[in-house]
Amino acid sequence: MDTIYALATAQGKSGVAVVRVSGPLAWQSGIALAGVLPEPRRAGLRRLVDADGGYLDEALVLCFEEKHSFTGEAVVEFQLHGSIAVVRSVLTALKVQAGLRPAEPGEFTRRALENGRLDLTQVEGLADLIDSETESQRRQALRVLSGDLGRRVSDWRRDLIRAASLLEAVLDFADEDVPVDVTPEVLELITNVRAALELELSGFAGAERIRTGFEVAIVGAPNVGKSTLLNALAGREAAITSDVAGTTRDVIEVRMDIGGLAVTLLDTAGIRETHDRVEAIGVSRARDRAAAADLRVFLVEEGSELDMSPEADDLILESKGDLRNDGKGISGETGQGLDALISDIQERLSNKAGRASLVTRERHRQALEEGIFSLNVALPVVAEGPDRYDIAAEEIRVAIRRLSMLIGHVDVENLLDEIFSSFCLGK
């Protein structure tokens, strides 16, 4: 492989900047800039110079041997002063060295995958960790990055390989008497793996929402106080408020962190029958987004009825509590009831998140569903006896391939290009 280099920390001025070099010429490159390198995995303070002996910076230098670095290759890292000029000068000094080239987006991580340091689910966990904005996203990304899902997949594959090998052993000796009936063991293996896949799949919705964020729609009739409530929750004027009914005609979104969960609040158009074509489009969008949201907050005035049917977890609140004398209801104007509303939203979404699995992406869901489908086909075929073992073994092999794709062992080249294109340079 080529030897690659890049700035591994964010662009711009900072206290410290890290430049990483990875590949067969990494240590040679480090010697050219820093002279004698420190012992592997021990930092050493070194004076960096360019090819002409020009002083570049004083930096901490770290070296990693093959199989002991992030990429699995020989690596040198320079921890520089975070000046834009210093970083530029060091990158320029690397650029003129023979055999080195700038890294492409995600190339360090891709090499970690290709060298067996990470599986594909861990790569996705790393991407999610970099993008995490909330505590729940951070925790979930770390669980995936730790390799928990990959280890589970490896266990499932091992059991299915055992099941397929038992069937194939019978097929190999079809002309002889086989003293042991393998059917019970194969059925048990398939049944247990299928149950584990179904359990993991059942937590997909919660896990995906932790990663991408929950949606909470504020729903109600025109001029009931939805935009005022959104602004109060957001702490800023995110939506136009007016005493004119029908002011909000499109869905307004505000991103928030509620109890460590990423939540997008949706202010929707007032739901009512209207002959105004533009407002009617807004009402239609409001109904669609509200129906698709994870939770709905219905604002109603005393004595009025809901225009949509609430679901079990939805919240129904009486609006304009500041105009009441009994202390009931909620008000975006005065803040009455806001703390209780936030607490209720957090409780309901936390319950949904609590059922989350390690299956966080659509491709994970698809791989598990296809694996379950193949195992459902295989189970009754196995029960029919040795004459059908060849068909059952093939279905089990299909399930194994689906799980192999999940962790990046087969048929994922196009997928890799898509995943790594979202990584930043230096990662």
Tokens 């002279």 correspond to what residue? 35
Provide the terminal-to-terminal Cα distance of the chain, rounded to the nearest Å: 17
Please choose, from the candidates 332, 329, 299, the residue with its C-alpha nearest in 3D space to the C-alpha of residue 314.
299
* 3-state secondary structure (DSSP) of residue 227: helix
Please choose, from the candidates 124, 131, 132, 127, the residue with its C-alpha nearest in 3D space to the C-alpha of residue 153.
124
Q: How far is CA 204 from the centre of its chain?
A: 11
DSSP annotation of 84 reads H
Please choose, from the candidates 17, 16, 15, the residue with its C-alpha nearest in 3D space to the C-alpha of residue 7.
17
DSSP annotation of 369 reads H
Instruction: List residues bridging with 4 in a β-sheet.
Output: 22, 101
Binding residues for (6S)-5-formyl-5,6,7,8-tetrahydrofolate: 20, 77, 117, 427
* 3-state secondary structure (DSSP) of residue 77: strand
Compute the distance between CA of residue 269 and CA of residue 247 in angstroms, rounded to an integer.
8
Q: How many CB atoms lie within 10 A of CB 103?
A: 25
Please choose, from the candidates 410, 300, 397, 351, the residue with its C-alpha nearest in 3D space to the C-alpha of residue 136.
351
DSSP annotation of 315 reads E
Binding residues: 20, 77, 117, 223-228, 242-248, 267-270, 427
Binding residues for Mg(2+): 227, 248
Binding residues for K(+): 223, 242, 244, 247
Paired sense of beta strands 261-267 and 214-220, if any: parallel
Binding residues for GTP: 223-228, 242-248, 267-270
Whether residue 76 contacts residue 29, with contact meaning beta carbons closer than 8 Å, is answered with yes
